[in-house]
Structure formats: C-alpha cells, structure tokens
Structure 1
C-alpha cells in the first residue's frame, strides 16, 4: 500500500492545493509514482476525464504535476454550487442530483464506502498519495460530518502538515487556534506547520516562529515565499479576478479582452492561455462601467445560466454587451455564455428552476435544459468562419463539454463553429454557431490547443506579426515549467528531508 501525507490548512485559499501540487511534482522528480487525493471538493471549475466523467480542477492540476492522467478516484465527491444553499452532487464522476446543504449533510455518511474504494484503488496503484483537506479542519460545528480533513487523515493513516497564510494576517493565531480546537488525537496527526505566502525578511519573522513552536510543540517545517505561479485555479477565490492585467501599462494592449464575471462563473481556466500571451490585457468585468472599450467580450461558463442571465440583465451588462455587439465588437460565448447569446432558454424539467427566458438575442439559437448532463472530450477543426475570427478557419482544436442544455440553431444563422468528434463514442457532430462577429461554442479549453490563442490575438489586433507562433506543445510546456518552478520553490523553503522522514514514519 502507498505511503501517505496530507496537507490541511487553517482556512480556504491558504495554499493547500498548490502545496499538494508542488509535493506531487517533487515526488515525481524523485522517481516515485505519486497521485493526489481529495475526498470531497466544492468548486465550479471542473474537468472531464478520458472516460467522460467529471472531477474537480484542483486534482487535475495535481495529477498533471505528478505526470499522470487525471481520474475521478482522485476526487470521488465533487459539489458544484447552484445557489447559496444548494449544490449539484457528483459522485465518482456521475451526477447524483441537486441537494440542499441540509439534505447533503444528513446523508453524506452514505458516501463513505465510495470514498474508501476510490482511495484504496489509488493506494494499490501508486507509491505515494498526497491528500488535500478542505477549508479549515477545526470547524467545530461540522466536525461530526467531516469526510475530508481528519476523517481522511485517520482513514489514510496520513501524517498532516498544517498550512497557514501569513499574507492575510493573523497566521500565528490561526495556526495556534486550529491546533487548540483539535482533540489530542487530532493534534498527534499534525507533524509540523508551514507558513505560506511570506513577504519580507525571515530574520524578522524568526522570533515569532520560535515562540509559536514553544506553544504548539510542533516544528515549523518551512516559510514559503509569495511567488507568482501561473497554475489553474480551483475556484472563485482566485486572484485573477482582482489582480492587475498582466501587460505593459506603458503600451496599448494588442488585445483588450473583457471576460464577464458571473456570480456563478465556472471553468474560467479556459482563458488562462490568453492571459499569458504578450500584449494581451485580460480583465474580469462585473459592472457596465468596467466594460471600457474591449476588443473582445467573452461570456464564460456558469453553473446557473438562467440565474446569471437575470443578473446580467438587472445590472445593465446585457445592454452594454448588445451595444458593443451591434457596433461590431466581437463577442464569444462558451457553454452557459453561449446559451445566453441565443434567443430563448427553456427549462421544462426545472433543472435551473423552470420557466422560459429571453436570451440576449445575438445568435439565432434556442436552448432547452435536459435532465441528463453532456460530459465528453472532443476533437475537431474550426469550420469556415466569417467575421473577425475567419483566420481560425480549419485550425485543429480539442477540449471538453460539460453542460445540461441542448442548443438548436434557428433559421438565419450564418454558420456553425466547428466540426468535432466525440472522443468517447466516435460520433461526429457540429458545435456552436456564429453570426457576424458573435460566436458561441460548448467546448471548454477551446483556446488551449496548438496556436489557437495566438491566432485569436492576431485576428483581434490585425497584426499578423504581433504574437509569436509557438509549437503545438507550447501551452503544455509552459505549464510543465510552472510545476517545476513550484517544486523548486518548495525544495528551497520547505524542509524536504524532514518531510521524507515524516512520510516514512507515518502514523
């Protein structure tokens, strides 16, 4: 059976996912077969595996860092919030249905056998399992229902590294307080603490570290600096939404891209490849006054298309998008964003609350929400496109679909977007629609393959020499470099010799 180690944190967004990814890369570099595991994940950024099953994006990132194919055993339970108190429950990649928080918590123990079998399969296949916790493990009102923090540490017999975020302040209180709320047995699982996102002089921090060690009787295994790593984010806590666009402010951007930041935005990782290109100013927009003068407006995926469409109309962004589209500014909708661009959305089965809504009316398409979710990976080529994105015509593409609706084009459409083939069934079909400079597609990851992102920016800028053309592996190679950079940082600032000792000693 595999050796195990677990990363828990004092709160959400302290760096658990990145630290787990970094350890996966280090263990891979050191010659071990390593896999990630998180028993329950709550996130809207999901992924479709080769088998056509759905899992959380964080474990996909960690699997990539480990150099292995993502599998739903790495994330047996995924919760995708559909509202403030309801989530779609996905178990081992298959949809169980929408449930209220109360219903889920009262029945979640029934999922324990599925968690165990997924974990045990990984243990038989790999040398090391890097487990990740969720939120805080010391939420005293939730500990009886815990299936992801100390529950998994016990089940996996996994020693725990507890991570705190110093950048948000209060790191000493959060680490000490978390350990204080643990039972003596739970404290025994914790073999050391790690301070993450540090800026400044280690020497100034040192007296505090020694004092804290005296209080908690646990070693500080590392102080990890705040570093810029371009790795796919797990959820809407990402700094991408609020951070400054990554372009030279002294020069006008080649392409100013505004991505609508829906309340239930999902799979915004679709645009990471665009944000890294030189000269691209990619912004997330949640109000009409923030639209500015974009060269492209993107409507991304969402877990609640009809709810987010209401929000779009109510806050005035819908009118702004229509105005830009009528003026010739290109608009691109992906998945839920594509559905919104159509004329009508119908929900006869109550998938999103029921009823019928008018869309933005920018594409001649009608969407009907069905009970069954489409989940598949696809490959294909762009069709003969018109409008500003005509240069993309014939380019190879790949990606994945994950959606509840079926969209049918109506009379008056200029053409479909792509010829694709379902990677699981081999069935050929047409995807999406375009009309003038308005484009829609169901394919997530559409811009990742080959030189599509570069071609898009060249088309928007009108400068064919603006963005250098890379190789087909450019985006993948870029991500591999990011994982190596993360691993180098952890090797420098984390006591890896002691981490290996903890791994060997176990519980």
Structure 2
C-alpha cells in the first residue's frame, strides 16, 4: 500500500517489453495499472510511441492510442497526451500520419522514418519525466521487440526509455506461438550489457495446459541469463478493447455469438485502413446480438444492419469496397431495408462525393455510394474533441470527433445528431461522433429499430468490472511482483 499521506512517495517504474509484437504487453500493462491503482498507488501508463489507427480523444481534445486511453482508465487516471506522446497512424504501406502530443504534425509526417529520432526524443523524454514527477508509479510499455537490431539507432520506445527511466524491466513471450524460451534467450542476448542489467524477470504469457509441460525450461533459461521466470500467465479470455486488430474483434464476436436462431444480426465491414472498431464492442457483448466481421464479398441478405466503420484513408477504403464487390452488396442491403450505419469515414463513403482539394489522401474527387445526401471535403485542419450532442431519437449523447472532413447535407438527409454531427435518410444513418454505441440509451434505441427485445447494459460499468477481474487474474499468477523505492 502506498503512503498516500506522503506526496513524495516514488517507486521505480515498471516496464513491459516483448519478444514480439502481440506478446500481450498492452494487456499486462493494463492489468498492472488496475492492480496498483486498487492498492492505492497513484499510477500512470506510458508508451513513448505507438502505431495504431485505433485512436481516442482525451478530455482536452488530444489524440492518443486507444490502448493507452484504456490503460489510463485502468489506472483511474485522466487520459493525457503525455502518456503516449508519439502516435503513428498508417495511411499507406510506407507512410504514416505523425501525431505529437496529441496533434497532427505535417512536417514530421513528411520526414523520413530514420531521421525522426532527433525531433522526437526530447518530447518523449520530457513526457516521461513529467509523469515520473507527478505520479508515484509509471508502468511503461515497449513496442514490438527490443531485439530488432536494425531499428536500434532510431529507438525511442524500448531500451532507451528503460535506461532513461532506470526501470525494472520484464520481458514477455507469447508461449502460445511456440519457441518462447528461444525468443526470450535470443532477445536477451541482443541487448547491450547495461540493458540486460535492467531485466528483472521473464514472463511466459498466454499459456495453455499443464504447467508441468514446461519441464526444466525455466531453469535452463536462468542458467544462461541469470534471470528468473517470474510469472506464467494463462491464456485469459477477456472483454477489454483490443488494439487495432480486426481479427481480435472477429474472434471475440465468434466467442460471443448467441445460440438463438433469431438473434439480431449485424455486419461490420473490414476494409483497408478501418479504424476505431473497438467502439462496436458493446454490440458484441449484448445478449441476442450476433456480430460478424465481413472482409470479402458475400451476400448481406441475412443481416439486419450493416456498419461501415471509420477509416484512416477513406478514398482507399471506398475503392477497395468497390473493387471487392462489397459496395454492391451494401447497396443491395440498403434497397431491401437493412439499417446501414456509417461512422466518420464510413459516413463519408455513404455520401454523394468525397473531395480532396488539398491532397490529404492523394487529391481529386471520388464518388460515394450515394445512399446519404451529403458531400464531404477534406480540410487540412484536423478536428479532435470530445462532444456532447442532441440525438433526435434519444436526447443527449456524448462521444468524440476525430476527422479532417467537412460535410454538408442536402435536403434529403435530415438531422440525426445536432451541430452537423450526423444525418439520417430513411434506413441510412451517418455520424461523425464516435463511441455512440457505448451510450446505453443510444444502443437501446438502435437495436430496437432492428426488433431487439433486450435491455442494454451499462458498458462503462461492465468495462470497469472487467478491468478488476483481469487484474486479479493476472496477479494470481504473478504473486511475487513488488514495488521498489525509486
């Protein structure tokens, strides 16, 4: 328990790094943030740089990765841009939009990858030290793997952060992938001696089966590194938002699919650069609602609703819908009366046209699907803010905006949300406001349009309870983790 009467209490930062991407770093950091917050520690998450199109907007209108936003909620802290000072949002195979301290930076976006470090390290360092000053404990997440020796010269997120913070570092391997002991040993040997000295323990994550199957592997590893394996965390099913992985949403939807023959069926389209799809988690969790992620052309005749999520590159996403044949299926679904729902970029695709006079997405004009009487023009200024709006059918709702588009409605599109945030045209809805499905009354109304007879649950209360459950489950398998004075 932290000494809350003494504001100068400080603990050594804890840092989670991984042998690979998707080793479970974000999940473990989230669990640790909630565990120590429940112990009365003033804790904050930190990730120097993230690559994700799944973003959130902080209370002061700044943009950060969704994973760090959820980690702040786990820590019971106000989400802030300094918790994740650099965000890279992929726009093409070799290009990402660069967000620095929550704001789009066009100059750095045009700067080559390997020459960004001198411009970004000072921002990362100051953000880290400001959190270390203001909180008792900072739980840090690495990115990818510190063993990527080809990227070490530009590192601003892994071992350079560990050294700067003098953190207690734990190296995590996804044992479900196989080869975990080789991954741990190889990663450790790729580190410099001063970096190896920071490694306090190894963590085997996503373990299935009998622990006896591990045999003497942990002793073998310690003999070669001097580092103990401190935790074996089992594969834990959970309801936490996933970071930028449509496959994870699909898998979760499959697990949650109801057995009733007459469940409400919702399709979510997974086109290139789809973003912010964790906002549909509340639909997945409702009983009697079946959510399917659609990647390729298939008839949509059996679905009651079709959702077009946001997109980081709307023009490319729309072109992919057309080329793959799904645009035609959306049109057919609309004509038979299915509810078509577009969010942000998805809403822009439903309109008459998307114009790009400033070349933000390559320039020019592209015709929309023509299902909603709106036209969008992309503007250089990016809107990022939390908003309260009036929904014609529901009343007051809250969410967030994150877009470059300026949309003008024609006479056939009537207001759905106030202040130009959403329109409705018969069975087609388009909105700019993200996270509406996390609003209980809106979700209740929306599903009722499809004939759902259930009662919508409070998603925020459900998330908070799930954070507690996950923290307890992880710490049951990591009983020796202790805070050390800074």
Shorter-normalised TM-score: what interval?
A: over 0.9
> Are the counterparts in 2 of residues 87 and 99 from structure 1 also a CA contact under 8 Å?
no
User: Which residue of structure 1 lines up, in the alignment, with residue 404 of structure 2?
Assistant: 404
- Which of 191, 194, 199 does residue 190 from structure 1 map onto? 199
1:478 aligns with 2:451: no
1:493 and 2:477 aligned: yes
**Which residue of the partner structure matches residue 394 of structure 1?**
394
Q: Where does the alignment leave 5 or more consecutive residues of structure 2 unmatched?
A: 1-9
| Aligned partner (choices 431, 451, 472) of residue 421 of structure 2 | 431
> How far, CA to CA, are the matches of 1:98 and 1:403 in structure 2?
19
Q: Distance in 2 between matches of 1:150 and 1:406?
A: 42
1:117 CA drift (Å): 1.7
Q: What secondary structure is seen at the aligned counterpart in 2 of 1:289?
A: coil
Q: 1:304 maps to what in 2?
A: 313
Taking the aligned partners of 2:36 and 2:168, their CA distance within structure 1 comes to 16
**2:388 is the counterpart of 1:379:** yes
2:208 is aligned, of 194, 199, 212, to: 199
- Does 2:271 match 1:262? yes
Gaps of 5+ in 1: 384-392, 420-428
Name which of 339, 363, 388 aligns with 2:348. Answer: 339
What is the deviation of 1:238? 4.8
Mapped to 1, the partners of 2:469 and 2:301 lie a distance apart of: 35
**Runs ≥4 in structure 1, deviation > 4 angstroms?**
98-102
- Whole-angstrom CA distance in 2 between matches of 1:74 and 1:343: 39
Alignment partner, residue 70 of structure 2: 61
Task: Look up the match of 1:449.
Answer: 439
**Of 184, 187, 198, the match for 1:178:** 187
Check the 8 A contact 2:19/2:144 in 1, yes or no. Answer: yes
Report Cα offsets for 1:135-175 as digits up to 9, x if no partner. 01110100111000001001111110000001111111111
Cα separation, 2, equivalents of 1:220 and 1:380: 51
Deviation at 1:50, TM superposition (A): 1.2
Distance 2:110 2:231 in 1: 36
1:137 — aligned with what?
Answer: 146
Partner residue in 1 for 2:448: 458
Task: Kindly report which structure 2 residues correspond to 1:20-169, keeping only aligned pairs within 5 A, or say none.
Answer: 20-97=29-106, 103-169=112-178
Aligned partner of 2:378 in structure 1 is: 369
> Structure 1 residues 100 and 381, CA, compared in 2 at 3 Å: closer, same or farther?
closer
Kindly state the Cα deviation for residue 236 of structure 1 after the two structures are TM-superposed.
2.2
Q: Tell me the alpha carbon deviations over residues 48-86 of structure 1, each in whole angstroms, 9 at most, x when there is no partner.
A: 111111111111111000111100010000110101110
1:4-60 per-position Cα deviation (integer Å, ceiling 9, x unaligned): 110000011110001001111111111100000001111011111111111111111
Q: Secondary structure at the match of 2:40?
A: coil
Superposition deviation, residue 248 in structure 1: 5.2
SS of corresponding position for 2:122 = helix
CA–CA separation in structure 1 for the residues paired with 2:300 and 2:218: 46
Assess if the C-alpha contact under 8 Å between 1:86 and 1:98 holds in 2.
no
Kept in 2, the 8 Å contact 1:397–1:450? The answer is no
After superposition, the Cα gap between the structure-2 partners of 1:126 and 1:290, relative to the gap in structure 1 and judged at 3 Å, is farther
The root-mean-square deviation of aligned C-alpha atoms, in Å, is 1.7
CA distance in 1, matches of 2:111, 2:211: 45
- Contact kept in structure 2, 1:396 and 1:450, CA below 8 Å: no
Paired with 2:379 and 2:259, the residues of 1 have a C-alpha distance of 49
Residue 151 of structure 1: SS of its match in structure 2? helix
Residue aligning to 1:315? 324
Alpha carbons 1:82, 1:304 under 8 Å: kept: yes
Q: 2:37, 2:75 within 8 Å by CA — same for their partners in 1?
A: yes
Deviation at 1:254, TM superposition (A): 2.5
Equivalent pair of 2:98/2:104 in contact (CA under 8 Å): yes
User: What is aligned with 1:416?
Assistant: 415
1:468 aligns with 455
- Contact kept, 8 Å, 1:266 with 1:300, in 2: the verdict is yes
Q: Could you tell me which residue of structure 2 aligns to residue 426 of structure 1?
A: none
CA distance in 1, matches of 2:251, 2:364: 34
Contact 1:258 1:285 in 2 (8 A): yes
Q: 1:57 to 1:158 in 2, by over 3 A?
A: same
Query: 2:6 is matched with which residue?
Result: none
C-alpha distance in structure 2 between counterparts of 1:253 and 1:101, whole Å: 51
Q: 1:349 to 1:113 in 2, by over 3 A?
A: same
Matched, 1:504 2:457: no
